Structure 1
C-alpha cells in the first residue's frame, strides 16, 4: 500500500513538473490574463470569484491560475503553482490595469470626467421604460424561438450565450440573459472596442482636427517607409506593418495586452513588411496605434481621457461603459470596452442612424459610409474597424450587415435594410456558435 501511495505521489509531482515545464514560457500570459480578467469582472461588474473562474477563466491554460482577490485594495494577484505572480489593480474611471513588476500604481491618479445626466426620455435616448409596442410585421413566436435557441439548456456549455438583445425601429423587441446576467450587467466587448476607437477618429475628423488620409503619423517613422502610412491604412488594417495576432501562443498581441505597460509602443516599433493598401491583416496592435495617435492630438492626458466620454460615450447615453487603459494611460482601444448589452446597442443605433443621435449629428454620414466600405484586399469582410457581410461571410443574412465583433463571439450587428440592431454576448464563436443561423433566424421573424 505504501508503495502505491509513493508511486501516486511521484506521479502527481511528475505531472505538476510536466505542466510547469510545458507552460512556463506562457506563465506571464496565464497569470496576466487571469488577474486582469478576475479584477475587471470583480470591480467593474461585481461578480463573484467562483462565477469568474467557472465561466470566464475556465479554459486551458488560464484555468491553471490561482487567483486571490484583495477587496480592500481593489486588486487581484494570480499565480501558477506559486510562480510568476501578476497583479491587476482597479482604478476608478480607468478600470483594471496590469501593474508592471516594481511599478507604483499609486501614481495613476488621472481619471476621465463623466457626465451622467438622467433624461426624461424613453430608450434609447433616455432612462424611461419603453411603451409596449407590437409590430404587425413581426412574427413574435419565430423571434422568441430564435432568441431562446441561442442559449444553452440543462447546464450545457455549448452555445454559452450570456445576452441577446434585438432592437427594431429603436424598440427593444426581444431581450434575454443567461442566469447571473441581466440588463445592468457590464460585459467585456473585447475587439468590439475597436469600432469605438474608429468612431473617436471620425469625431476628430468631423471637428477638423485630423484627416483620415494624412500620413507622417509618428515622429519615430519619419526616416523610413512608415512615414507614408496613412491614418486610413491603420483604420482599415492595411498598413503593411508586421504583426502576429495569435491568442493561443506568445505572440505580438499577447505580449502587448498582458506584458507591456505602453501598448501603442509595440506596434509603433514594428517594421513594414507589406505594401500599404495592399496587405490587409487583422491587427489589434494597429488599433492601439490609433489610440496612441489620438493621444498625440491632445495637450494633456486629462483632455484625452475626457474626449472619448464627452464627445461620444456619455453623449449617446452609454453611461455603463468603461474603456480600460494601460499603465501609461492609453485607452486599450483594441480590446477593453465594458458596457451593458443595452448600451452597446446604442452604439449600433448611432451607426444605423447614419451618425445622428436624437437630432444631433455625432458622426457624418460620410464617415458611416466609409466605416462600412470594404478595405482593399480584405475580400469584402472588413471596413474601418468594422466587420462586413459584403463578401457574404453570412450567406443567409443581408449583404449590408456590418458589425462590431469581439473575441469569443461578442457582436453588435447593424442591418440597415431591416432597421435592426442585434447584440449577442457569449463565450464561444463561429463555428461553435453559428452567427449565420442565429442572425438569419431572427431576421426571418421580421417581414
Structure 2
C-alpha cells in the first residue's frame, strides 16, 4: 500500500499549485512509476516527455541500480575484483579495486589526471566539464587513470568510479549478446 500512498500524494500535488512550488527548485518533470507502469507525470511549462533533459549525477543512481541487477542475476559479486581488462597486468595495483569500492566511490583512482599537460589544461574546477563536454571516451578515460591512494581507504565524490561501473555493465551485457542501451 505504501506505493499507493505515494501515487495518491503525487496526484494531489498534480491537481494543485504545489507542483509549481516543486518546480521552483529546477525540477522540470515528475514521473511516477508504480507496478511497472507510469501512473502519473507532470512537466514544467515549456517541457514535455520528448524534451531532452540533462540528468547529471542521476545517471550515477541508474548505474548503481543496473549493477544491482547484475549482482542479483549472479553476473557480478560485490567483493570480487572489478573485471577491468586494463587493470589485469601483473603488479598493477588497480587489480585490487573491487566492485564494492567503485560503488562506494573509494577506488583510489586519480581522476584528476586527464593525461594532458600545460597549466591551462586542467583544474579541479573544470574536471566535471571536461568529462562531459570534451568528447572523451569517458569509459576508457576513467579506467586508464592511475591509482593515487589504496582502494577502500578514502571516499571521494568523483565521476570515475560510476563511469567504470558503466563500462563493466556494458561489457557484461554485450558479452551475452544483449543491448547495453535497453538493459535490463
Which TM-score band (shorter chain)? 0.5 to 0.7
Q: Secondary structure at the match of 1:234?
A: helix
> Corresponding residue for 2:153?
278
Deviations 1:142-164 (A, max 9, x none): x8343222345xxxxxx444224
Distance in 1, Cα, partners of 2:123 & 2:67? 27
> Corresponding residue for 2:177?
303
Distance in 2, Cα, partners of 1:247 & 1:149? 36
Deviations 1:96-142 (A, max 9, x none): xxxxxxxxxxxxxxxxxxxxxxxxxxxxxxxxxxxxxx96x99x48x
Distance in 2, Cα, partners of 1:219 & 1:168? 39
Deviation at 1:237, TM superposition (A): 0.9
Deviation at 1:298, TM superposition (A): 5.2
8 Å CA contact retained: 1:240, 1:279: yes
Distance in 2, Cα, partners of 1:193 & 1:283? 13
Deviation at 1:284, TM superposition (A): 1.6
> Corresponding residue for 2:22?
150
> Corresponding residue for 2:118?
none
When residues 266 and 171 of structure 1 are mapped into structure 2, their CA distance, relative to the original with a 3 A threshold, is: closer
TM-score (structure 2 length as normaliser): 0.67
Pick one of 232, 244, 250 that aligns with 2:100: 232
Deviations 1:246-304 (A, max 9, x none): 998432x433333344212222122222232231111222112112222333565x935
> Corresponding residue for 1:430?
none
Alignment of 1:368-447 (within 5 A): none
Deviations 1:198-219 (A, max 9, x none): 2222222222222121115323
> Corresponding residue for 2:126?
250
Deviation at 1:168, TM superposition (A): 8.3
Which structure 1 segments of 5+ residues have no match? 1-133, 153-158, 313-447
8 Å CA contact retained: 1:217, 1:229: no
Which structure 2 segments of 5+ residues have no match? 1-6, 113-121
Deviation at 1:192, TM superposition (A): 1.1
Cα RMSD (Å) = 3.7
When residues 195 and 144 of structure 1 are mapped into structure 2, their CA distance, relative to the original with a 3 A threshold, is: same
Pick one of 77, 85, 96 that aligns with 1:219: 85
When residues 226 and 250 of structure 1 are mapped into structure 2, their CA distance, relative to the original with a 3 A threshold, is: same
Q: Secondary structure at the match of 1:190?
A: coil
Q: Secondary structure at the match of 2:63?
A: helix
> Corresponding residue for 1:415?
none
Deviation at 1:236, TM superposition (A): 1.6
Distance in 2, Cα, partners of 1:163 & 1:248? 31
Pick one of 200, 206, 209 that aligns with 2:75: 209
1 or 2, which has the higher strand percentage? 1
Q: Which has the larger radius of gyration?
A: 1
When residues 180 and 208 of structure 1 are mapped into structure 2, their CA distance, relative to the original with a 3 A threshold, is: same
